[in-house]
Copies of this chain bind each other. A is one copy, B any other.
Amino acid sequence: MNYPSGIKVNPRKNITYGNRGMTLECDLNETNQYYLVNNIAVIHKKPTPITIVDVDYQSRKDAVITKAYFRTPSTTDYNGIYKGKYIDFEAKETTNKTSFPLSNIHKHQIEHLTKIYEHGGISFLIVRFTKLNLTYYLSLESLKKFIDIKNQKSIPLKYFEENGFIIPDKYSPRIDYLEIINHIYFKGDEL
């Protein structure tokens, strides 16, 4: 099913593959909550963009949206601030075992990440290969390098191995991607 990201239609409680049944989105929510509560960073998922068509105002407080459509997102799902730096990323899962299809990311999302990078922010992708139980950090620079040089519709796993960073599974925070950012941008600093 082609659910827009961020919509929990069915709690995926019966999904038993590798990942303790948790989606990347759940892991990121837990991780960002950990960063927030521990005053490490302020990073939030943006709400799913929708176009509201009909609203039933039964009362002033209890409005019910009765018709709305999903919109194509013009930016990424996640942004925030860490050590004074603007952070912006998109997170995607793939069930593919050998490569990540670029069709998972909208062209204007890559444009958005590029603009953020040009304005001095930290832009990247988090890609999870669900069947391999591997989660990678891929910088915008590495993503652009791939797109500019190769004329391929998928990024091979090998490219992630060589140009990305594995984000290890932990208990809490579950996927500590700021460790990677520390390594790349704040070497020597402690979280």
Q: Which residues between 85 and 109 of chain A lie within 8 Å of chain B, taking CB atoms?
A: 85-86, 88
Identity of the chain B residue whose Cβ is nearest the Cβ of A63 in the assembled complex: B70
A70:B79 contact, CB within 8 angstroms: no
Q: Answer yes or no: A41 CB below 8 A from chain B CBs.
A: yes
What is the distance, in angstroms, from A189's C-beta to the closest C-beta of chain B? 14
> A61 to B69, alpha carbons, bound, how many Å?
10
Contacts of A86 in B (CB 8 A): 80-81, 84-86
A2:B121 contact, CB within 8 angstroms: no
Query: Range of interface residues on chain A?
Result: 35 or more
Q: Answer yes or no: A158 CB below 8 A from chain B CBs.
A: no
> A60 to B70, alpha carbons, bound, how many Å?
12
Q: Answer yes or no: A11 CB below 8 A from chain B CBs.
A: no
Contacts of A174 in B (CB 8 A): none
Contacts of A42 in B (CB 8 A): 112, 115-116, 119, 121
Contacts of A191 in B (CB 8 A): none
A52:B7 contact, CB within 8 angstroms: yes
Chain A 112-125, CB-CB to B under 8 Å as 1, else 0, gives 10011011110000
